[in-house]
Chain A
Amino acid sequence: DQQVKQNSPSLSVQEGRISILNCDYTNSMFDYFLWYKKYPAEGPTFLISISSIKDKNEDGRFTVFLNKSAKHLSLHIVPSQPGDSAVYFCAASRGDALNFGKGTSLLVTP
């Protein structure tokens, strides 16, 4: 049973524009959410996280928004750069191991 869902397998955005990656979850007990970025032939790397007590966390060009009532979070990348092209995984935890979505492949075109 997939508790974390990323319904868009892929996304294409022009360089300089905003990339918005979405994630939905079903378990209301999740209290910590993360985004990981993965390049081919590499392991996922931690990007940004947010606790359930917050609704926004910003780190440079990356901002994560959490809407607990909708059980939805999103990752905004502004401005998008070609080097951001990768697979992005959303993950959620309730104090134990992380539950991952299937990933969204982002392509940033020049």
Chain B
Amino acid sequence: DSGVTQTPKHLITATGQRVTLRCSPRSGDLSVYWYQQSLDQGLQFLIQYYNGEERAKGNILERFSAQQFPDLHSELNLSSLELGDSALYFCASSVNPGRSSGNTIYFGEGSWLTVV
């Protein structure tokens, strides 16, 4: 158990809909990351937050957004869903924001999203 909690574990929704994925980081971790894993892709970095502020942005679509709340939990919002958005979405956390070497991040078990 990494200490990173993600809900829901599985979600099936229709195209055009909107969903919210939730993540609670490890105790004491200030940085939260979101990654997407599709069938034929590795782990694609979406976005990072540190202590409530956006820190880095990766291959995140405009239809997707995220935020980190004062209690440090984070939510990833996916809207106008398309079939191609079906994937495993991972949240990860770390203590520091990653500005120095040695930033190991710890992953949750993921949220399976299926768009039908």
Chain A partners chain B: yes
Interface residues of A (CB under 8 A from B): 2, 4, 6, 31-32, 34, 36, 41-46, 49, 51-52, 89, 91, 93, 95-103
Whether, in the assembled complex, B52 has its beta carbon less than 8 Å from a beta carbon of chain A, the answer is no
Known: A45-B107, A95-B100, A97-B33. 11 other contacts (CB 8 A): A36-B107, A44-B43, A51-B101, A52-B101, A91-B43, A95-B101, A96-B48, A98-B45, A100-B42, A102-B40, A103-B42
Given the contacts A43-B90, A99-B45, A103-B42, A93 and B109 also touching, CB distance less than 8 Å:
no
Interface check B63, CB cutoff 8 A: no
Write the residues of chain B forming the contact surface with A, with a CB cutoff of 8 angstroms: 2, 4, 33, 35, 40-45, 48, 55-56, 58, 90, 92, 98-110
CB of A74, distance to nearest CB on chain B (Å):
17
Contact of B98 with A43 in the complex, beta carbons under 8 Å: no
| B106 in contact with A46 (CB, 8 Å) | yes
Q: Are A101's CB and B42's CB within 8 A?
A: yes
Task: Report whether B110 and A43 are in contact in the complex, using a CB–CB cutoff of 8 Å.
Answer: yes
Which 7 A-B pairs rank lowest in CB-CB distance, beginning with the nearest?
A43-B107, A102-B42, A100-B43, A32-B101, A43-B109, A100-B42, A44-B107
CB-defined A-B contacts under 8 Å, sample of 16: A2-B42, A32-B103, A43-B90, A43-B110, A44-B107, A46-B104, A51-B101, A89-B43, A91-B43, A95-B100, A96-B99, A97-B58, A98-B105, A100-B42, A100-B44, A101-B42
B100 cross-chain contacts in A, Cβ below 8 A: 95
